[in-house]
Amino acid sequence: MGTTLQGVFAKNRAEELGRDVWEQFVVPHFYSKLDLTTARKPRIIIGGRGCGKTMLVRYLSYETMFSSLRHSIPVEAIKHIGLYWRIDTHFMNLMAGRGIEDWKWHSAFAHIAAIELAREIMGSLRAMSESALRLLVKDDLERLDLSRLKAFDKKLPHTFAALVDRLETLIWEIQSWVNDPLKAPEPRFLSGRDFLGALIKEIKRQLPQLSEANFFVYIDEYENLSKYQKKIVNTWLKHSETPLIFNLAMKRHAFDTQETIGPESLQNIHDYRFYDLEAEIKEDFSLFAAEILLLQLALQGRTVPVDPAVLRDPERLSERANPEYRASVINRAEFLFPGLSQTEMAKEVFASKVEENLRSRIKQALAIKRSPIDAECFIRRNVPEASIITPALLSRRTLSAEYVLDQLDKLESGLPNDFTGKKDLIHNNFVGSYLLLFEAHSRPCPYYAGFSSFSQLSRGNLRHFLELCHQSTNRVEDWKGDSSVPHFTQAEAARAASTAFLREIQSCGPYGLQLHAFALRLGSVFAMSQRRPTQSEPEITHFSIGDGAVQLQPSDLDFLRETVKWSVLYEEKETKQKDPSEPSDTEYILDPIYAPYFHISYSKRRRVKLKSDEVVVLIRGTYDQVRELLKKYSSKWRVEPRELTPTLFSHLGTE
C-alpha cells in the first residue's frame, strides 16, 4: 500500500492498453441499448476522440471476450466473435493512382481486408482454444483441413498453423507491392468477402461445436478510408448476414458517403443501426468517469467502493443503478479530487492577493461613475459572493452605486434583496465575475478544480478526464491513491492539460494547423467577452451563425464539419430563440477542455450570434481581418484588445 501512484492515470488511450482490455474496461451504463452482441444487422458507432469508441470495439473483440484473464466464459460467447481491424491512414492513402489502374487498387484493398480479417478469424480460434471456454482444444485446430481454400490461391497451405504463417507472409507481400507497385511483384489477390465466407464455412463444417458461431467485424477509424474504399466497405455492410456481419466505428461526419459499388446505397434502419456513443456517454458521465477512476486504483490494490467484476459484467448493470452505490462512488471521487463551493471560492479571494484585484476593480468602477463612496464599503467579508460581483454591478450604467450599496446592506441584514431574490444577481453573475478577478493573475483559478469541474471540462471525453487526473496526481509528491489532491494543484493541472490539448489540435488530420488557428481565434473572442467589466450577460462559450455580407462557401462548411469531426467544436440544435419565428439553427460549442487556457467558463450559458462573414474571418481570415474583428468586439464589449500572436495565423504560412 506504500507504492506511489503518480502514473496510474497516464495511459489515457485505448491503443496504449493492447488488444485485450478485459481488466481495464468498464461496461457503460447504456450498453444494453446498443444491442451489440445479439444484433444481426450492422452497427455504425460514431463519436469524437476520447469518447471510448476504440475501447468499446476492443472489448467486443475476441482478444477480450476470450481473454486468459477471464475465469469463466459462457458458451453463448461464440455467437458474437469480434474481429477488429483498425484502418492505417498512411497505408490506405498509398492505394491510389501512381500508374496503377483503379480496378487493381480496388482488388488490392479487398485482398488486404481478406488477409487481415482471416488472420483475425484464425486468431479467434486460437484464443478460444486457450481460454476458459474449453469449447476448442489445440488438437481441434491441428486437425483442420483447409485445402479447399486453394480455390482462391493454390499456394495456400491446408493446415491451421501453416495458413497462419502464410497469411502473415501475404501481408508482407502486399505491403511491399503497395509501397512500390511498378517494381515489386504483383501478388495474387484474394476476393475479399468471398474468401472470408469460405474460410468460415470450412471452420463451421469441420468444427460442429462452432455451428452457431457468428463473426462480427469491427472496422475502426472508417474516416481514414478513401471514397472508393468506403464504397467497398459499404457494400460489405449492405450484404452482411450471419455468420459474417460488418460494423463500423468512426468520428462524427465521417460517414460522408452511403454509396456502394452497386446501384443501391446504404439506408439507415434498413441496412444498419446508427449509434451516437458521445450522446449516450454524456448522459451520466460523472458516474462513469468516477467508476473508471476508481477501477484504476482497484487494479493497484487500493480499497475502493467498486467491484471490478461488477464493472466488467453487462449482466450486473442494475447493481450500478442503485442510488447508494452511485453516491458512494461519486463521493470517493470527490474526496480524491475535492472542489470548492461557490461560497468557499469567494472566501478564498479574501485570503489571497486576489483581494487587491477586487478592490482595484471596485475603485475603477466608482471612479467612472464619479461616486464619492469609499470602495471599502463594498468589501463585505460576511457576504463574500455578493462582494465578488460588485465590480460588475458598479460597471453597469443602469445601476447606481447607491443601489448596489443598499442591496448589500439588505443582504447583510437578512432582508429581501436583489442578490438572492428574484433578480438572483449572485447566481447570474458570480462565475464571470470570479473568473475576471483571476484573469490578470498567474495564480491558478480554483473554478477549474474538483471532480465535478473535471467531469464538465471533459464533456464525455474519457481521455481528457484521465489526463486531468494524471496531471493532478503527478504534481503531488508520493501520491498513494488514498489522499485528496489540493484544489490549487488541480487548477494548475487543468491549465496544463488545457494547453497541451489545444496544442495537440495541430496534429488533427490535414486541417490541423487551420483547426488550431481557428480554435485560438474563437477562444480569443470568447476570452474577450469574458473580460467585459459589466459581466452583463452570462459567460459566452458557443456561437451560432447568422446572415452577413459574405456567405459561407462549401469549403467553409466542410471546415466546420472538420471542427466537429475532431471535437474542436460540438454542435447542437439551437434551443433558445428570442424570436419564435426564427428558423432553427445550429449552435457550435467550443470544447470545454480549452476553457482553462482561455480563462473562460466551461458551462454552456449564452451564445453569440456571429455573422457569416465574421465566421469566414475566423476560418480563413488574414492578419488584418482578424485584427479588425477583434477590435470590433473589444469596442463593443469595452475591453482592451490583446496583441495578436503568430499562432493565430499558423495555417497561412505567410505571417
Residue 436: partners with Cβ closer than 8 Å, 6 or more residues away = 361, 391, 392, 530, 531, 533, 535
132 lies in the same domain as 231? yes
What single-letter DSSP state applies at residue 265? P
Q: Flag whether 11 is in a domain.
A: no
149 lies in the same domain as 102? yes
187 lies in the same domain as 239? yes
Match 462480427 to its residue by C-alpha cell: 216
Q: Flag whether 645 is in a domain.
A: yes
318 lies in the same domain as 174? no
pLDDT digits (tens, 9 = 90+) for 96-123: 888 888 899 999 999 999 999 999 999 9
Q: What angle do CA 607, 612, 614 make, to 5 degrees?
A: 80
Confidence of residue 269 (pLDDT cuts 50, 70, 90): confident
pLDDT digits (tens, 9 = 90+) for 346-405: 999 998 888 999 999 999 999 999 999 999 999 999 999 999 999 999 999 999 999 999
290 lies in the same domain as 274? no
| Cell numbers that stand for 10 in this block | 497516464
Counting the structural domains of the chain, the total is 4
Q: Flag whether 23 is in a domain.
A: no
pLDDT digits (tens, 9 = 90+) for 589-610: 999 999 999 999 998 888 889 9
Q: Taking 80 as the threshold, does the pLDDT of residue 344 lie above it?
A: yes
Q: Flag whether 12 is in a domain.
A: no
Q: Taking 50 as the threshold, does the pLDDT of residue 133 lie above it?
A: yes
72 lies in the same domain as 220? yes
381 lies in the same domain as 488? no
Residues 418-446: b if buried by 16+ CB within 10 A, e if exposed: bbbeeeebbebbbbbbbbbbbeeeeebbb
Phi-psi region of 157 (alpha: psi -120 to 50; beta: other; left: phi over 0): beta
- Region 627-654: mean pLDDT is 69
497 lies in the same domain as 513? no
Residues in the chain: 655
Q: Flag whether 25 is in a domain.
A: no
pLDDT digits (tens, 9 = 90+) for 537-590: 777 888 999 888 788 999 999 999 999 999 999 998 765 554 443 434 789 999
Which among 348, 417, 409, 419 is positioned nearest to 386, based on CA atoms? Answer: 419
| Cell numbers that stand for 3 in this block | 507504492
Task: Describe the strand order of the beta sheet including 81-86 as a list of residue ranges.
Answer: 81-86, 215-220, 244-250, 43-46, 273-276
165 lies in the same domain as 308? no
Side-chain-side CA neighbours of 177 within 13 Å: the count stands at: 21
Sign (positive/negative) of CA torsion 302, 303, 309, 314? Answer: negative
Query: What is the number of other CB atoms lying within 10 angstroms of the CB of residue 644?
Result: 17
> How far apart, in whole angstroms, are the C-alpha atoms of residue 443 and residue 354?
9
Which among 230, 303, 251 is positioned nearest to 482, based on CA atoms? Answer: 303
SS3 190: coil
Which among 449, 264, 250 is positioned nearest to 339, based on CA atoms? Answer: 449
Which among 161, 167, 131, 156 is positioned nearest to 143, based on CA atoms? Answer: 161
Q: Flag whether 110 is in a domain.
A: yes
Inter-residue contact 437 to 361 (CB < 8 Å): yes
Inter-residue contact 249 to 218 (CB < 8 Å): yes
Question: Can you name the residues that pair with 244 across neighbouring β-strands?
Answer: 215, 241
221 lies in the same domain as 357? no
Phi-psi region of 527 (alpha: psi -120 to 50; beta: other; left: phi over 0): alpha
Phi-psi region of 99 (alpha: psi -120 to 50; beta: other; left: phi over 0): left
User: What pTM does this model have?
Assistant: 0.90
pLDDT digits (tens, 9 = 90+) for 201-256: 999 999 999 999 999 999 999 998 999 999 999 999 998 999 999 999 999 888 88
247 lies in the same domain as 307? no
Question: Can you name the residues that pair with 219 across neighbouring β-strands?
Answer: 85, 248
Q: Flag whether 13 is in a domain.
A: no
The most distant pair of C-alpha atoms in the chain lies apart, rounded to whole Å, by: 98
Instruction: Name the domain boundary from 412, 443, 474.
Output: 443
Q: Taking 90 as the threshold, does the pLDDT of residue 619 lie above it?
A: yes
Radius of gyration of the chain (CA): 29
Instruction: Name the domain boundary from 443, 462, 491.
Output: 443
In which domain, by residue range, is 167 found? 31-282
Instruction: Name the domain boundary from 463, 482, 503.
Output: 503
Give me the helix-helix angle, 623-636 and 612-620, nearest 10°. Answer: 130
258 lies in the same domain as 350? no
Inter-residue contact 540 to 529 (CB < 8 Å): yes
What single-letter DSSP state applies at residue 24? T
Of the given ranges (15-19, 41-45, 111-115, 464-468), which has the lowest mean pLDDT?
15-19
> How far apart, in whole angstroms, are the C-alpha atoms of residue 399 and residue 419?
13
Q: Flag whether 606 is in a domain.
A: yes
Of the given ranges (5-19, 27-41, 115-129), which has the lowest mean pLDDT?
5-19
